[in-house]
Amino acid sequence: MTSGQSFYELYRRSSVGAALTDTLDDLITANRIDPQLAMKILANFDRAITEVLQEKVRSRLTFKGSLDTYRFCDEVWTFQLKNVTFKMENGGQIVSADKVKIVACTAKPQGSGP
């Protein structure tokens, strides 16, 4: 992806993203960094996490469950599932969950061309 493209802020709510956000808030409160620098760091995090997951993660899994609700808004799909079972490829580990939320975004931001 080029530097002119924007990235989704989806992973800021992950444990790593939340830890980064908390740390940046602490640094701003202690007047050790400017809020503008914190925003640049978060934008760099958005880009880096997206690129690493896209390029480095090759694991696959299948899942089954019951679709509870779904919605599509601003090019983002949100699915809420119940009683979900995940199975890793090659007969790997099986994990179950009562509730799962899946958020899926378009691969190319709008206006980025073909």
Instruction: Please provide the size of the chain in residues.
Output: 114
Q: Give the residue, 40 or 57, on which the prediction is more confident.
A: 40
CA distances from 74 to 12, 55, 78, 109 (A): 19, 25, 11, 11
Considering the entire predicted model, what is its pTM? 0.65
Q: What is the mean pLDDT of the chain?
A: 86
Instruction: Judge whether residue 48 has pLDDT over 90.
Output: yes
Cα angle 29, 33, 34 (rounded to 5 degrees) comes to 90
Pick the CATH number of 10-56 from 3.10.580.10, 1.10.10.10, 1.10.1040.10, 1.10.287.190: 1.10.287.190
Residues of CATH 2.30.18.10 domain(s) within the chain? 61-105
pLDDT at site 3: 46
User: Residue 1 — very low, low, confident or very high, per pLDDT cuts 50/70/90?
Assistant: very low
Neighbours of 24 (CB within 10 A): 19
Written as six digits, the tokens of 82 are 């119940």
Tell me which of 3.30.2310.20, 3.30.230.10, 2.30.18.10, 2.40.70.10 is the CATH number of domain 61-105. 2.30.18.10
Q: How much of the chain, in percent, has pLDDT values that exceed 70?
A: 88
